[in-house]
Homo-oligomer: A and B are copies of this chain.
Amino acid sequence: MAVPYKAPVKDIVFGYEVIDSYNVLNKISEFSDFSEDIVIPTMEECAKFSEEVLAPINAIGDQQGASIENGNVTMPEEFVDAYKKFIEAGWASISLPEEIGGGGMPITLSGGTLEILSTANLAFGLAPGLSAGAISAINFHGNQEQKDKFLPKLVSGEWTGTMNLSEPQSGSDLGTITTKAEKQDDGTYKVTGTKVWITFGEHNMTENIIHLVLAKVPGSPEGTKGISMFIVPKVMVNDDGSLGDNNNVSCISIEEKLGIHASPTCVMEYDGSVGYLVGEENRGLNYMFTMMNEARVWVGGQGLACASGALQGASQYARDRVQGRPVGMSKEDAKKSTIIDHADVRRMLITIKSYVDAMRYLMYDNQLMLDLEYFAEGELKEFGEERCGILTPITKAWISDLGVELSSIAIQVYGGMGYVEETGVAQYLRDSRIAPIYEGTNGIQALDLMFRKLPLDNGQAMQRLLADVNKVIDEMNEGGEVLSDMAQKLKVEVDRLSEVTLWLGSKMLEGELVDASAGATPYLKMFGQVLGGYYMGKAAILATKKLEETGDEYYNEKITLSKFYIEQLLPLASGYASSVTAGKDDLFNIKAESF
Residues of A at the B interface (CB closer than 8 Å) are 166, 169-173, 196-197, 255-259, 311, 315, 318-319, 322-328, 338, 340-350, 353, 404-405, 408, 411-412, 415-416, 418-422, 426, 429-430, 433-434, 436-438, 441-443, 446-447, 451, 489, 513-514, 516-518, 520-522, 553-554, 556-557, 560-561, 563-564, 567-568, 571-579, 582, 584, 586-595
Q: Tell me how far the C-beta of A356 lies from the nearest C-beta in chain B, rounded to whole angstroms.
A: 10
Name the residue of chain B whose CB is nearest to the CB of A340.
Answer: B592
Name the residue of chain B whose CB is nearest to the CB of A222.
Answer: B331
Q: Which of A325, A343, A412, A433 neighbours the largest number of chain B CB atoms within 10 Å of its CB? A: A343
User: How distant is the Cα of A520 from the Cα of B342 in the complex, in angstroms?
Assistant: 11
Check B419–A433 contact: CB distance below 8 A.
Answer: yes
Interchain Cβ contacts under 8 Å between A and B, 20 examples: A173-B323, A173-B324, A255-B419, A258-B411, A259-B419, A327-B513, A343-B518, A343-B584, A346-B587, A404-B408, A405-B405, A408-B433, A489-B578, A557-B589, A557-B590, A560-B589, A568-B578, A568-B586, A571-B578, A572-B576
Check B582–A571 contact: CB distance below 8 A.
Answer: no
| Neighbouring B residues of A196 by C-beta, 8 Å | 416
The interface residues of chain A, by DSSP majority, are classed as helix
| Neighbouring B residues of A349 by C-beta, 8 Å | 595
Check A437–B419 contact: CB distance below 8 A.
Answer: yes
Check B430–A258 contact: CB distance below 8 A.
Answer: yes
User: How distant is the Cα of A446 from the Cα of B584 in the complex, in angstroms?
Assistant: 36
User: How distant is the Cα of A437 from the Cα of B318 in the complex, in angstroms?
Assistant: 15
Name the residue of chain B whose CB is nearest to the CB of A315.
Answer: B595
| Neighbouring B residues of A561 by C-beta, 8 Å | 590
Q: Which of A327, A342, A489, A514 neighbours the largest number of chain B CB atoms within 10 Å of its CB? A: A327
Check B173–A340 contact: CB distance below 8 A.
Answer: no
Partner of A434, one of B166, B419, B578: B419
User: How distant is the Cα of A567 from the Cα of B587 in the complex, in angstroms?
Assistant: 12
| Neighbouring B residues of A430 by C-beta, 8 Å | 258, 430
Check B437–A557 contact: CB distance below 8 A.
Answer: no
| Neighbouring B residues of A577 by C-beta, 8 Å | 571
| Neighbouring B residues of A420 by C-beta, 8 Å | 255-258
Check A340–B172 contact: CB distance below 8 A.
Answer: no
Q: Tell me how far the C-beta of A585 lies from the nearest C-beta in chain B, rounded to whole angstroms.
A: 9
Q: Tell me how far the C-beta of A240 lies from the nearest C-beta in chain B, rounded to whole angstroms.
A: 40
Check A350–B521 contact: CB distance below 8 A.
Answer: no
User: How distant is the Cα of A134 from the Cα of B424 in the complex, in angstroms?
Assistant: 33
User: How distant is the Cα of A247 from the Cα of B51 in the complex, in angstroms?
Assistant: 48
Check B411–A433 contact: CB distance below 8 A.
Answer: yes
Check A419–B257 contact: CB distance below 8 A.
Answer: yes
Q: Tell me how far the C-beta of A560 lies from the nearest C-beta in chain B, rounded to whole angstroms.
A: 4
Given A258-B430, A343-B518; A586-B574 close (CB under 8 Å): no
User: How distant is the Cα of A415 from the Cα of B166 in the complex, in angstroms?
Assistant: 12
| Neighbouring B residues of A255 by C-beta, 8 Å | 419-420, 422
Q: Tell me how far the C-beta of A409 lies from the nearest C-beta in chain B, rounded to whole angstroms.
A: 10
User: How distant is the Cα of A342 from the Cα of B328 in the complex, in angstroms?
Assistant: 51
Given A347-B518, A567-B578, A587-B343; A442-B412 close (CB under 8 Å): yes
Check B173–A258 contact: CB distance below 8 A.
Answer: no
User: How distant is the Cα of A589 from the Cα of B561 in the complex, in angstroms?
Assistant: 9
Given A171-B323, A595-B311; A416-B438 close (CB under 8 Å): yes
Name the residue of chain B whose CB is nearest to the CB of A561.
Answer: B590
Q: Tell me how far the C-beta of A490 lies from the nearest C-beta in chain B, rounded to whole angstroms.
A: 13
Name the residue of chain B whose CB is nearest to the CB of A595.
Answer: B315
Q: Tell me how far the C-beta of A423 lies from the nearest C-beta in chain B, rounded to whole angstroms.
A: 10
| Neighbouring B residues of A172 by C-beta, 8 Å | 323-324, 415
User: How distant is the Cα of A169 from the Cα of B338 in the complex, in angstroms?
Assistant: 12
